[in-house]
Chains A and B, each alone.
Chain A
Amino acid sequence: MAVSWGKPWVVWLALGALPVGGTIGTGSQSLSATVYPVGSITVPASAALTTSATKFQPFTGSVTLSYRARTSPGGGGNVTLSVTSDFAPPGGPSVAAGALAYTCSGSTLGTACSGAQTASTTLQTPVLALPAAACTGGGGACSGQNPNSVNLSFILADDPGYATGVYSARVTFTISAT
């Protein structure tokens, strides 16, 4: 089919614009965003457990977790802890033997764990429970803090049977939201 270049409006239409003084069309586009439950968590790369001046009292240390969360109206969420690598090298404390416990406090969103929790290498133990329709930041129905935080205080038994040395364990925190 031959194009008739004798009709200028056809050229302008083909280029996607009209000359000044032409007709301008309007239209609308429906935009929608589906917001899903989300969680993120940040912790210090390391934390030292130190002893007190009193002999054979537990080693203690604290960690502040920073987290952001959004849960659905019918959902909820939690933060859990698991020791994914027990204290090494051998001869020192053992999480598997129940040597490590912790308490939670100062949660700015959700409910921190209650009482002393015994850390586990096989179970995920509670740190925090997030309610339904929870959200980080923004005020209003959401938490005013961004990010949110919760403090963990670790308590490691000081057993005379531990050989002297430096020991490390890897703790993994998981945040889940629905």
Chain B
Amino acid sequence: MHRYVLVVVCALLALAGLASAQNTTLLTVAIGPEAALSVTTSTTPLATTSTTFGNPFTGTTTMNYLIRTSKSNGTGTITVQITADFSGAGGPSVGNPPSTGDALIYTCAVSAPGTPCSGTQTAATKTATAVGSFGAGASSTKAGNAASVAWSLTDDPAYAVGTYAATATFTISAA
């Protein structure tokens, strides 16, 4: 009899010592296609070592991109457009070059999972031109992946001496 009483008392003490309860919630997240791009060289000087018009002005713009495209039928692109032509009269111009054949051209480097543009592209003020492309299920690293554009601007004797600046706008998209 005393043994049973002891068991009951112990049980009551156990109940008195700790009470706990639980409840749950379901966290839900919808993860969609996403892309971001950061140009790491905010100003890209175009320079030439030639003093005899033998070489164009060249320079390289580097960037870091993050991307996630849809698993099925996903796509992505990086493009560039000259949104502000070279300033100042008498200098180079992307939209209205002073001489036939003058151009701002570029080649592309885009690390995997991107595919760089093919060959040499001609920059334009009225349209965005290709830098790179992505397929379905593409994803960059968390820190981002590298891409770059190597510019080449014709050195036309018609250009007046001076310093000229243009703005190239890069756009990345994912679907």
Contact = CB atoms under 8 A, between A and B. Distances in A.
A84 interface: yes
B25 A177 contact: no
A154 B27 contact: yes
B32 to A, nearest CB: 6
Contact of A164 (B21, B28, B33): B33
Given A160-B140, A161-B142, A164-B74, A39 B29 contact: no
Determine the main DSSP class of B at the interface with A. Answer: strand
Given A46-B26, A47-B26, A170-B24, A164 B31 contact: yes
Interface stretch (A8-16, A24-32, A55-63, A109-117): A55-63
B3 to A, nearest CB: 22
Interface string B8-27: 00001001111111111111
B29 A48 contact: yes
Given A160-B67, A161-B141, A166 B19 contact: no
B21 A37 contact: no
A166 B29 contact: yes
Nearest to A159: B142
Contact of B35 (A44, A55, A161, A176): A55
Contact of A175 (B21, B24, B30, B36): B21
A173 B18 contact: no
B66 interface: yes
A162 B34 CA distance: 11
A30 B35 CA distance: 74
Contacts of B16: 34, 36-37
A143 interface: no
Given A162-B31, A167-B28, A43 B67 contact: no
B22 A41 contact: yes
B70 interface: yes
Interface in A120-178: 154, 156, 158-178
Contact of A39 (B20, B25, B34): B20
A18 interface: no
Contact of A165 (B19, B31, B142): B31
A166 B24 contact: no
Nearest to B113: A160
Contact of A37 (B19, B35, B141): B19
A158 B30 CA distance: 11
Given A37-B16, A55-B36, A164-B70, A169 B139 contact: no
Can you list the 9 inter-chain pairs with the closest CB atoms, starting with the nearest? Answer: A55-B36, A49-B29, A176-B20, A46-B26, A43-B25, A160-B139, A160-B140, A160-B68, A168-B28
